[in-house]
Chains A and B, each alone.
Chain A
Amino acid sequence: MTELRELARRLLSEGTVNAVLGWEEGPRGARPAFVTTPDGADRLIFDHRCVHNLASYLSPRRPHLKRLGKVAMVLKPCDARAVAGLIRETQVPRENVVLIGVRCGGVVTDPDSDATLSEATVADRCRGCPDREGKLADHTVGTAGPGFPGPSHRAQKIEELAAKPADQRWAFWQAELEKCVRCHACRQVCPMCFCDRCLADKTQPRWIESSPHARGNMAWHVARAMHLAGRCVDCGECERVCPQGIPLGLITRKIASVVAERYDFRPSDDPAVPAPVGTYRMDDPQEFIL
C-alpha cells in the first residue's frame, strides 16, 4: 500500500498526471477514489475488496471525467484486459493514461464484505485466473497472493443448463429475465459498453422494446450478449450491479467459451490481439450452415 501511495503521490506532485483513479475506504467498504492532490494519495487502498473495474471510468461515455485531465489508473490484471479492450477498439489512446498495475491474488464479490479471502468467498471470475500481474501497466506495485485454481462454479452451472432440454433452459431464463427492470445498470457499469447512444435507447426503429416485460428483456439480453461477444473481459461488474440478482455472468461466460472454442480467443491484456468479432478467417468452421 505504501508503494502504491508513494507512486501516486509522485505522479501527482511531479505533474505527470492530474488525477489518480484507485480505491479508497468509503462509508460502505472499498469504493472508487479520485485523487487530485498529492496528499490525497494516502486515501488509496488495495485489498481483496477492491472488486470494481475502474476501466469503466476510462470509457469515452464518461464526459464528466474529462475535466480531470490526464489520469493514472490503478488496475488489477483483469481490469487491464478491459483497458486493453478499450485501446484495441481505439476508445482510449494508450499514451493518454498512466497505468499502475497492482499484483493480485483474487478478490471477493462484495466491496463491503467483512470476509477474508478464501476458497469460499473468492469471486468466481478469480477461480482459474492465470494472471498475478498484468503486462500492460507502466508501473507495477504490491505483492501477489497465490490465486485460486478453480473450478469455476459458473462453468459448472452452464454445463448443467446446457445438459437440460431446451424447454427447461427456456423456463429458467424466462424466470430470470422476467426479474429485469431494465435499469440498464449492467450496461452503464460495463467497461466495454461505451456506445454514445445505445441500441436499447433508440426509438426509430425500436429493435429493443424499453418495457421491462419478458419480450423486451429477451431482446435486451440477446443484444447485450451479442454486442459483448469476444469483448467481455469477465470482470463481473454487470452481475454485481444488477439490482435484481440476475446471473448475467452465465450468459457472458457462455459466450466467452464459444468464442474461445471456435476462434481461439481469450481476453488478454494485449491490445494488439485482434478481437474475434469484426475479424474472420476464411476457414472458420461453418458446420451449422447448409
Chain B
Amino acid sequence: MDSTTPATAGGFEPRITAFVCNWCTYTGADLAGTSRLQMASNVRIIRLPCTGRIDPMFITKAFERGADGIIVSGCHPADCHYNAGNYHARRRFAIFRELMDFLGVDPSRITFSWVSASEGAKWRDVVNDAVTRVRALGPFTAYRNMVVVQATAPKSSSPEHAGEGEGLPMQSLAADGVAPGASKEVTA
C-alpha cells in the first residue's frame, strides 16, 4: 500500500511520535519539508539535542498517551554533534527493543534510523515505511487502555461479576464492579 495515499474514510490512521536529534534528523526532516517531498502526515516530531538524550521512558510515555508507533532517529555513527551520544543510544535501544519484544510489544511499532541533515528523502522513506507498518498493526489500544477510568460510563457489570477475575490477582479482586475481561477499573 502506498502510505502517502490518504486513508479511506473511517480507516485507521496511526499516530506516530518521532524523537529526533536536533543536528541531523531534525534538519533532515526540515529538508524533506522544504523540498516538498510527499509523505504521510501521521508523525509528530519531538526535537531533542541528541539521540543520547532520548530516554526509553519517553517511548513508554508516548505509548501511554496514545502513540501507535514510535520513530527514534539521529545522526549516523561518527557524525554525532557530541561525538558519542548516538553510540550510547545504539546500545541502549538495542537492549530496549529486546526488552519490549520480551514483554510482548511488537518491536516493529518502534523504528530506529540514522538520518543525516542532507537525507530528506531518507526521512520520507523512514516515515512512510513506519506509517505503513504501524497502520497494518492497527491501533495500540492494548498499551494505552491498560487502565481506563470512566467517570460517566454505562453500568459495566452485573453483581454476578462483582469483584471477580478469572484467576486474576488482588487488584482485580479489589476493583469493584469490574467484569472479567473488561478493561480494569471501568467503574460504573
**Which residues of A approach B to under 8 Å, CB–CB?**
158, 161-162, 166-175, 178-179, 181, 199, 207-208, 211-216, 218-219, 221-223, 225-226, 229-230, 244, 251, 254-255, 258-259, 262-263, 276-278, 280-282, 284-286, 288-290
Contacts and interface: CB of A to CB of B under 8 A. Distances in A.
Interface residues of B, number: 47
30 contacts: A161-B102, A162-B102, A169-B104, A170-B105, A175-B169, A178-B169, A179-B170, A207-B55, A213-B171, A213-B184, A213-B185, A214-B184, A219-B57, A219-B61, A222-B57, A222-B60, A226-B92, A251-B99, A262-B94, A277-B91, A280-B88, A280-B90, A282-B77, A282-B78, A285-B94, A286-B90, A288-B93, A289-B90, A289-B113, A290-B129
Contacts of B172: 178
Given A207-B61, A285-B94, A290-B114, A214 B56 contact: no
B90 A222 contact: no
B106 interface: yes
Contacts of B2: none
A277 B103 contact: no
Interface string B55-98: 11100110010000000000001100000100110111111111
A221 B61 CA distance: 13
Contact of B103 (A208, A218, A278): A218
A9 B92 CA distance: 46
Nearest to A175: B168
A219 B60 contact: yes
Nearest to A208: B57
- The interface residues of chain A, by DSSP majority, are classed as helix
B91 A289 contact: no
A223 B55 CA distance: 10
B98 A284 contact: no
Contacts of B91: 262-263, 276-277, 280, 284
A280 B84 contact: yes
Contacts of A282: 77-78, 87
B146 interface: yes
Contacts of B54: none
Contacts, number: 138
A254 to B, nearest CB: 5
A226 B46 CA distance: 22
Contacts of B84: 280
A258 B95 contact: yes
A161 B99 CA distance: 12
B104 A207 contact: no
B98 A255 contact: yes
Which of B84, B94, B126, B184 counts the most A-chain CB atoms under 10 A from its CB?
B94
A218 B146 contact: yes
Nearest to B55: A207
Contacts of B106: 166
A181 B98 CA distance: 25
A132 to B, nearest CB: 31
A230 B91 CA distance: 11
Given A178-B169, A207-B55, A219-B57, A173 B103 contact: yes
B182 interface: no
Contact of A199 (B57, B61, B97, B170): B57
Which of B60, B64, B102, B113 counts the most A-chain CB atoms under 10 A from its CB?
B102
A251 B100 CA distance: 10
Contacts of B147: 211, 213-216
B104 A290 contact: no
B105 A255 contact: no
B171 A222 contact: no
Contacts of A178: 168-169, 171-172, 184
B187 interface: no
Nearest to B115: A290
B157 to A, nearest CB: 18
